[in-house]
A and B are shown apart, each in its own frame.
Chain A
Amino acid sequence: MNFDKQYYNIGFLDQLSYKDTFVHKLDPRAKIITTSLFFFTVISFSKYEVASLLPFFLYPVLLMTIGEIPFMLIFRKVILVSPFAVFIGIFNPLLDSGQVFIFQGLAISVGWLSFFSILIRFTLTVSTTLLLIATTSFPGVCHGLRQLGLPSLFVSQLSFLYRYIFVLMEETMRIVRARNMRSYGERGKDMRILVRIAGMLFIRTVERAERIYSAMLSRGFQGDMPSLKPYRIKMADVVFTVSILTFLYVFRLYPVTRILGGFIQGVFS
């Protein structure tokens, strides 16, 4: 069953976040800040930019290498969600048909440039997000967000989401298995049955929420999520953040690829 496979898949990403590498040990705040600034930088380029975006792959590659995250895992997940980006940009080459010369008189439509630009931005942002999750435990991300000043209400919603997504998926898996066990073929895959399963899950979730709330109340919950501050900023976090910020700054403001290209041309000519 496909569902089982997806379940263990999510669990795997979660397992990865408990490794013990340099990237994993960084303060979540450092990673959240650099990742979000990375987004802003990547998005801020003009829509026909392709060459200047390429150096930014350094950041995810760096995270992946130092964090010992398998490339194929990230790659497969990026491919999985890529249709969204492809459909956003697919008509650009037709609609935006201005000509641009890229190499010795070879011309293509400007739309192709913006299409590729979208794809590159998509790959950059999605892979860094996945890497952030794979190198930072989810509770860590929540703590980081809380310490960065996000309202406690949002953060507790996020941490409940993480805590119960596995429970909920297990419950779904049990229902789906029970259905498969007694559906002997096609009948059980009927749409109506699926709708009922969804309804059932909803009711069970509401009941569970009720019980969780009562467990919270009985331990003195009065509307505010308390939290300890488990993280202290270390030297490594400061160094990491500052160097990534410098990297983003330099690659944003100077056409590094062109300078490098010019330099190499100079060497060969």
Chain B
Amino acid sequence: MSHHIVEFKNVSFRYPNKTEALRDISFRITHGESVGIIGANGAGKSTLLMHLNGYLMPTSGTVNIGNLYLGRQTRQEIRKKVGIVFQNPDEQLFMPTVYEDVAFGPLNLGMDEAMVRERVRSALDLVGCLDLQHKSPHHLSNGQKSSVAIASVMAMEPDILAMDEPAANLDPRSRRLLINLLRTFEHSKVIASHDLDLILDVCQRCIVIREGNVAADGPAFDILTNKELLEENHLELPLSLQRG
């Protein structure tokens, strides 16, 4: 299968205040790949993720997601294919209870009630949070919030999963659980993070972004062991590789 592709072709994006966040960036992610996006602060990682579901539109160039070219008409279709988990779970979970939050996506897809209940149940079960369903998000710990945020996106059964700093604010154990969870997903994954060990554990491929363009693109292990390249990009070797 090759229809769950993500292809950026010569994409540039400029914010209204003239900041050029993406400059002529091109890459192609094929079905089932998991790709880590790394780079310094302000390199354009988050801007890139926002293009995946059409929250931002390229100033020039094309974004192709699952053989749909991103445009105003195709935006809604593309949002069904791409699930984005944002960095701050408080912003991801906006409904008053966990259950309603996870149901939000499926309801917007126009499913009937029985189907929605089934989706919510299986998504919460997947992240091990079924017993939290009637709680309010503000009564949850950060780890639980992150898990529920993932469930809320998984309930829509997206083809492509995009995440922005999934492990920020998590304690080591919750982070480990998250990594194990991510490894079980067979979706195409795009993960932007500074947590290089997480990328090393979850992704086969890694793209380094610098000043809105691709600085390097290759197998995660090769890139994450290239000390020189990492340091040029304000990064350093993953901790697990520093000991040796």
Contact = CB atoms under 8 A, between A and B. Distances in A.
Contact of B107 (A162, A164, A228): A228
Interface in B14-38: none
A226 interface: yes
B88 A160 contact: no
A177 to B, nearest CB: 18
Contact of B105 (A137, A138, A208, A220): A220
Contacts, number: 80
Contacts of B88: 211
Interface in B97-144: 97, 100, 103-105, 107-109, 113, 116-117, 136-138
Interface string B53-97: 101000000000000000000001001101110101011111111
A214 interface: yes
A222 interface: yes
B79 A220 contact: yes
A162 B76 contact: no
A215 interface: yes
A14 B91 CA distance: 21
Contact of A228 (B91, B105, B113, B156): B113
A142 B97 CA distance: 11
A219 interface: yes
B196 interface: no
A163 interface: yes
B53 A212 contact: no
A228 B94 contact: no
B213 interface: no
A211 B91 contact: yes
B220 interface: no
Contacts of B103: 226, 228
A86 interface: no
Interface residues of B, number: 35
A167 B50 contact: no
Q: Which of A215, A216, A221 has the most chain B CB atoms inside 10 A of its CB?
A: A215
B107 A138 contact: no
Given A162-B96, A217-B53, A219-B156, A227 B107 contact: yes
Nearest to A161: B96
A244 B94 CA distance: 35
Contacts of B152: 219
Given A139-B136, A212-B91, A226-B108, A218 B116 contact: no
A180 interface: no
A12 interface: no
Contacts of B108: 219-222, 226
Q: Which of A14, A217, A218 has the most chain B CB atoms inside 10 A of its CB?
A: A218
B156 A220 contact: yes
A163 B94 contact: yes
Contact of B100 (A160, A222, A228): A228
Interface string A131-175: 000000111001000000000000000011011101100000000
B224 interface: no
Given A228-B103, A228-B113, A220 B76 contact: yes
A231 to B, nearest CB: 13
Q: Which of A163, A208, A219, A227 has the most chain B CB atoms inside 10 A of its CB?
A: A219
Interface in A1-55: 14
B153 interface: yes
A253 to B, nearest CB: 39
B86 A211 contact: yes
Task: List the 7 closest A-B pairs by CB distance, nearest first.
Answer: A226-B107, A220-B108, A139-B96, A219-B105, A166-B138, A211-B91, A218-B53
Given A167-B138, A211-B88, A215-B86, 4 more contacts: A139-B100, A219-B108, A220-B105, A222-B76
12 contacts: A137-B136, A139-B100, A163-B94, A163-B95, A163-B136, A211-B91, A218-B82, A219-B105, A220-B109, A222-B76, A227-B107, A228-B113
